[in-house]
Amino acid sequence: MSKERARRRAEREAERARAMRLNEQRQARAARRRARLARLIPRPVRVARQGGLLARRRRARNVVVLLGFLLVQTLVWLIWGSAFLSFGVLVFSLLLAPVLVTLAFDRRI
């Protein structure tokens, strides 16, 4: 009887060792695949938004400038409706916007 138990125990241990070997091979293959993918596909870079007072002011200023620009373009398009005049006001606004932003928001003046 003890020889039979010893043989079954040896079979169980051999099966357990084979299963462990297969599991290790599977894990090694998965690790190699993950490493290969990590080399091929760059990880996304998270750009954090600055949250200080100056950054908030700059964002608010940019929103005001953009809304003003869009308001002027919309009013010209609604009031006159001419494509040529709308294009002219667009070009003039693009040239004049930096000057107005500097005059309105520059603290050195």
Q: Which tokens is 77 given?
A: 């398009």
pLDDT in tens, 55-93: 888 888 889 999 999 999 999 989 987 889 889 999 999
Q: What type of residue sits at position 6? A: A
Task: Please choose, from the candidates 64, 72, 66, the residue with its C-alpha nearest in 3D space to the C-alpha of residue 92.
Answer: 72
pLDDT in tens, 16-49: 999 999 999 999 999 999 888 888 887 777 777 7
Q: What confidence category does residue 1 fall into, taking pLDDT thresholds of 50, 70 and 90? A: low
